[in-house]
Chain A
């Protein structure tokens, strides 16, 4: 029963909340979608927290994504012991980096009065679930080694079954690692709280900046075609009416 609650009900509730909440917040509460950077109030110790934290999570996120999307490729890559070691050590290092960064950020928030002024309750929740998520992930990596290999066997089928609306929880519920279970549950909890926390900022990571032209000129008139236009570049947008 508990397994069904944690591995079937929770994921669906989390995903539904995430989808509806994020879209609503983006469309109707645009002013509240922000990374809420506090660098302006304190910039020096932020560097030692924010950089290792974000880069650590950045690589871990894509690592998990690759393991989920291309499990066979990953297993093939891991065929060599050296490659397996590289991937396991690198992942662990990124995990440590994220943990270090998180602790530095928490310390900064606790000790700096200015940063405390822009801290809200949801920030505490964010720190808590991130701490559980990172620590449980590191424990899995340490106590149940070679996760990049068994991920494909245990987690990929489970996650895939969730997304095709045919949840199969046999593998995940019988797995003999409480850390892994915590890791999965807290992962879905994070997804669930994204729309209610500063997590939203990773959804608006500005990838489109890469192909946007540098200058943007917008005309008020003829709004339908002009307002949304991204086609402007130096002097190329002219006949605007």
Chain B
């Protein structure tokens, strides 16, 4: 057993209202610079939809992540041979147009335009070339376009559905969408780290944050291809790649990352997980249908004395182990089994987990009347608008049983609370739902509490960084914002 600690995350999709506050918080802190305008380390997508960059989930195009190769895994589009072979031109790399051309407006024209019959306008200008452009796409361009032919129907996850199922999804009475906020998953088996020819990417031992060393990055661009979530971005101005840093300067000082802190719906949870690094390779190469279950196995019980002993031997501070015991992520993931990884079939062992949204029940059209009534209070999960297969393609590598299990748990908690607070559901109905998934009232109340009433400190359990042991972490990051950045001794100017 080789115990390491990892900062892991849970996003509760039932609570996400798609307000993009997280994206803006991140943008203002990290990516409001030349060359980084198009980067959205945090973005919120509408599902079904094509996402950002367009069709990022389709690894036939981008060749990201790992593929199972017997008892082990190998990189899909990069690696020692493929990477060095394609180093002069990377055929699978997304280009600016797959994201969007960043722009601003000529606001000055509003003031300087000569007097005339028409209102002056501020025309959009490209932030890359400075020329006026016709804006054709932008971040989050498909926001709320749940039924649209250009976006929703191009969703890669629909491939698992039969044509009939797909058509049914887009009938007016079935149309639905939900939001999917995404940041870097800070994976246990990061493909970006493995693909970097110059070794600029690394995973921090203390908290598992994956970072790019800006002084060692040589713009070989392999991480952009290798990350199946497309969360490594190439800065076209400095000639260096950049990615989500999980606000590590904030984490080190005990604050939640900006996107977490600012989340209006309070959908985000962050905490420590202990994991066994010896198992990474075996678990990354599990069969598709076992991937979710296998990944749960790698995370260790922080109350187990043997785990605590091994963790201490590996130099993990007692305060970190205590944080792991209080971790909301551990509860959602291992104890309650409510959270699932996004696209586990990419085999990077992501550390961002999602509690899927309880799907809205399906309405029907009778005699031209749109009818949403149903026999039960919230419709059964068997009458959901989105096919379970679609969710399975997102969160469980196609294993529909996993999705049904989670949805049943969420539904049982909801019924239990309805019984407690309103009392219009029959006792038998509630206990049948609870019994089916082995849930008792106490646990259901705990789930309810952490889901809806949790305080800031319950949602974000951040272990102390022990700055006393680490001189580097003492540098004041705010002093050098917009200038050299921290850890750097020179201005981040483009080379010649």
Is the pair B493, A32 in contact by a Cβ cutoff of 8 Å?
Answer: yes
Inter-chain contacts of A43 with B (CB < 8 A): 89, 93, 95
Is the pair A239, B490 in contact by a Cβ cutoff of 8 Å?
Answer: no
Name B75's closest neighbour in chain A (CB-CB). A214
Whether, in the assembled complex, B376 has its beta carbon less than 8 Å from a beta carbon of chain A, the answer is no
Residue among A38, A39, A118, A201 with max Cβ neighbours from chain B (10 Å): A39
Is the pair A36, B470 in contact by a Cβ cutoff of 8 Å?
Answer: no
Stretch at the interface among A46-54, A63-71, A76-84, A143-151: A46-54
User: Contact check: which of A32, A55, A221, A235 meets B315 at CB < 8 Å?
Assistant: A221
Contact with B along A25-54 (1 / 0, CB 8 A): 000111111111111111100110011011
**Known A-B contacts A30-B215, A215-B203; A40 and B277 likewise in contact (beta carbons under 8 Å):** no
| A-side interface residues, number (CB < 8 Å) | 59
Inter-chain contacts of B95 with A (CB < 8 A): 39-43
User: Contact check: which of B96, B205, B279 meets A218 at CB < 8 Å?
Assistant: B205
- How far, in angstroms, from A219 to B202 measured CA to CA in the complex? 10
Interface residues in B97-152 (C-beta closer than 8 Å to A): 128-131
Inter-chain contacts of A35 with B (CB < 8 A): 218-220, 239
User: Contact check: which of B194, B196, B218 meets A204 at CB < 8 Å?
Assistant: B218
Name A222's closest neighbour in chain B (CB-CB). B315
Inter-chain contacts of A209 with B (CB < 8 A): 80, 83-84, 196-199
Q: Tell me the total A-B contact number using a CB cutoff of 8 A.
A: 181
**Known A-B contacts A35-B220, A114-B129, A216-B203; A235 and B93 likewise in contact (beta carbons under 8 Å):** no
Whether, in the assembled complex, A113 has its beta carbon less than 8 Å from a beta carbon of chain B, the answer is yes
Interface residues in B236-253 (C-beta closer than 8 Å to A): 236-240
Name A216's closest neighbour in chain B (CB-CB). B202
Is the pair A239, B193 in contact by a Cβ cutoff of 8 Å?
Answer: no
Contact with B along A9-37 (1 / 0, CB 8 A): 00000000000000000001111111111
Is the pair A217, B203 in contact by a Cβ cutoff of 8 Å?
Answer: yes
Is the pair B131, A113 in contact by a Cβ cutoff of 8 Å?
Answer: yes
Is the pair A31, B215 in contact by a Cβ cutoff of 8 Å?
Answer: yes
Inter-chain contacts of B205 with A (CB < 8 A): 217-220, 226, 240
Inter-chain contacts of A40 with B (CB < 8 A): 93, 95-96, 221, 224, 234, 236
Whether, in the assembled complex, B441 has its beta carbon less than 8 Å from a beta carbon of chain A, the answer is no
Stretch at the interface among A91-99, A177-185, A192-200: A192-200
Name B215's closest neighbour in chain A (CB-CB). A30
Closest 9 CB pairs of A and B: A32-B495, A30-B215, A241-B315, A206-B197, A219-B205, A214-B194, A235-B278, A34-B239, A36-B239
